[in-house]
Amino acid sequence: MKAVARLLVGVAVTMLGLLLVTFVIGRVIPIDPVLAVVGDRASADTYEAARIAMGLDRSIPVQFWLYLTGVVQGDFGVSVVTARPVIDDIARYFPATIELATIAIIIGALTGVPAGVMAAVHRDRWPDHVLRVISLLGYSTPAFWLGMILLIVFYGALGWAAGPGRIAVFYEDVVPTATGFMVIDAAIAGEWTIFRNALSHLVLPAAVLGLYSMAYITRMTRSFMIDQLSQEYILAARAKGLSERRVVWRHALGNAAVPLVTVIALSYGGLLEGSVLTETIFAWPGLGSYLTNSLLSADMNAVLGSTIVIGAVFLGLNLIADAVYALLDPRVAWQKG
């Protein structure tokens, strides 16, 4: 019970700090949310009436308290751009980002972990050098440049993949929304033509983000594996006559998987909040595009709401990673207890 209480207090304090920081930043940046509502040609009386209606005539602490009470009740305000509640907009756009980031992290983990293991096993030999160069390129290549190149080659020149957007225009609103994930909803509805179309749109942006996550996971896996392969229990396992395959994949990777879980979880969180450029290049209707458009339109309710949701996702992923960490290594749970 004490551990649960500490966890809940930690989550509450973290979320309160996130709310406070995002709110203060939203109030001190040189953007006037009133002008976003009334326009720059509104009269002084109209401007002042809108300012009072939005509660901006009150002190910052009072504004924060009103905003906090609204957030606790699930009210993030109304978006200036869409004229809908921000929470409804987030529920509409966030599934697209989750779908894209999930496919990307699957690509990154399934390729990055084996690549990192291979690099560690062949340390300072040509496979290691090749994989390190690939990781460096994947980590340092700008997402917007790579996205445009992929569009030019695979969409414009070869026609192997679909272009920007999440689905073809004439397929929009055909499939009933069950999960918010276009590929899954199309499969549930049995619309396999739409399923293939949605998957074709998903390939290129997922490849861009997948390459980035693969590069990071490869580097971290290599580092963890090098550390594990130098431990005495590996020497003992080899002395017992165990095959190199079992030593590497069962024993070394089994122990390296404990910190690797945190790396993958944080990488996934980074994809959820860092896919702004990729979503912009591919016109992907996700939370990143929504956040960018809201910021350019001075829609601070939408900006703050999106930031809070992303922060909450990061916090949730950290908690899940800690739980999986304890499952993989019972010593962690015993030490925390």
What pLDDT was estimated at residue 117? 92
In the chain, what are the domains? 2-72 (no CATH), 86-336 (1.10.3720.10)
pLDDT digits (tens, 9 = 90+) for 187-196: 888 888 889 9
Q: Is 253 left (phi over 0), alpha (psi -120 to 50) or beta?
A: alpha
Instruction: Give me the mean pLDDT over the 263-279 stretch.
Output: 81
Q: What are the residues facing 85 on neighbouring strands?
A: 78
Instruction: Give me the mean pLDDT over the 59-63 stretch.
Output: 82
Instruction: Give me the mean pLDDT over the 10-31 stretch.
Output: 78
Distance CA(167)–CA(201), nearest Å, equals 6
Is the model's pLDDT at 313 over the cut of 50?
Answer: yes
Is there a contact between 117 and 253 (Cβ–Cβ < 8 Å)? yes
Cα R_g (the chain), whole angstroms: 24
Angle at 232 between CA 228 and CA 234, to 5 degrees: 60
Q: Which of 33-42, 73-82, 204-213, 266-275 has the lowest mean pLDDT?
A: 33-42
Is there a contact between 334 and 67 (Cβ–Cβ < 8 Å)? no
Distance CA(165)–CA(155), nearest Å, equals 12
Is the model's pLDDT at 168 over the cut of 90?
Answer: no
Q: Which residue has the tokens 């700090």?
A: 17
pLDDT digits (tens, 9 = 90+) for 212-228: 899 999 999 999 999 88
One-letter-per-residue 3-state SS of the chain: CHHHHHHHHHHHHHHHHHHHHHHHHHHHCCCCHHHHHHCCCCCHHHHHHHHHHCCCCCCHHHHHHHHHHHHHCCCCCECCCCCCEHHHHHHHHHHHHHHHHHHHHHHHHHHHHHHHHHHHHCCCCHHHHHHHHHHHHHHHCCHHHHHHHHHHHHHHHCCCCCCCCCCCHHHCCCCCCCCCCHHHHHHHHCCHHHHHHHHHHHHHHHHHHHHHHHHHHHHHHHHHHHHHHCCHHHHHHHHCCCCHHHHHHHHHHHHHHHHHHHHHHHHHHHHHHCCHHHHHHCCCCCHHHHHHHHHHCCCHHHHHHHHHHHHHHHHHHHHHHHHHHHHHCHHHHHHHC
Is the model's pLDDT at 71 over the cut of 90?
Answer: no
Distance CA(147)–CA(160), nearest Å, equals 15
Q: Please state at what angle helix 182-189 crosses helix 86-121, rounded to 10 degrees.
A: 100
The pTM is what? 0.82
What pLDDT was estimated at residue 334? 47
| Those residues with Cβ within 8 angstroms of residue 40's Cβ, 6 or more apart along the chain or in another chain | none
CA 135 to chain CA centroid, nearest Å: 20
Taking CA atoms, 291 is separated from 97, 163, 279, 304, 325, in Å, by: 12, 22, 11, 9, 32
Q: Please state at what angle helix 2-28 crosses helix 60-72, rounded to 10 degrees.
A: 130
